[in-house]
Structure 1
Amino acid sequence: MNVAHDIYSETNPAFCALVLVSFTTAFLSINPKGPEVPAVYLALPIALAGDLGRCFDGTNKNTGLQEWLNRRPEVQIGLSNLVNSSMDIVTEAIRFGCFSRILVVSPAARLELGSQKVKKGAITALSEGPAQSIKRAERLGFWFASAGSTRTIFDMMGLTV
Structure 2
Amino acid sequence: MIAARDVFAETNPALCSAVFAQFCSAYRLAHPAGRSPVSALIYLIVPIAVSEDLALTFEKCNKETGLPVWLSRNPKVTVDLAKKVNLTLDITSAAIRFGCIGGALRLTADGNLESLLENLPAAISGGVASSALKRARLLGIWMAGMGSPRAVLEALGVSV
* TM-score range relative to shorter protein: over 0.9
Spell out, residue by residue over 1:38-76, the C-alpha distance to the aligned partner (whole angstroms, 9 max, x if none).
001012321011010001111101111111111111111
1:24 Cα shift?
Answer: 0.7
Aligned counterpart, 2:87:
85
Aligned counterpart, 1:138:
137
User: Identity over the aligned pairs, expressed in percent?
Assistant: 37
Aligned residues: 158
CA contact (8 A) 1:44 1:137 kept: no
1:108 Cα shift?
Answer: 0.6
Spell out, residue by residue over 1:109-134, the C-alpha distance to the aligned partner (whole angstroms, 9 max, x if none).
001122x544452344x21x321111
Specify the SS of the correspondent of 2:114: strand
Runs (4+) of structure 1 moved beyond 3 Å? 116-120
C-alpha RMSD over aligned residues? 1.3
Extract unaligned runs of 5+ from structure 2: none
Q: TM-score, normalised by structure 2?
A: 0.93
Spell out, residue by residue over 1:61-109, the C-alpha distance to the aligned partner (whole angstroms, 9 max, x if none).
1111111111111111111111110001110111011001111000010
CA contact (8 A) 1:26 1:142 kept: yes
Extract unaligned runs of 5+ from structure 1: none
Q: Return the alpha-carbon distance in structure 1 between the equivalents of residues 138 and 111 of structure 2.
A: 22
- Residue 55 of structure 1: which of 36, 57, 69 is its match? 57
Q: Return the alpha-carbon distance in structure 1 between the equivalents of residues 120 and 110 of structure 2.
A: 28
Q: TM-score, normalised by structure 1?
A: 0.93
Q: Return the alpha-carbon distance in structure 2 between the equivalents of residues 152 and 90 of structure 1.
A: 21
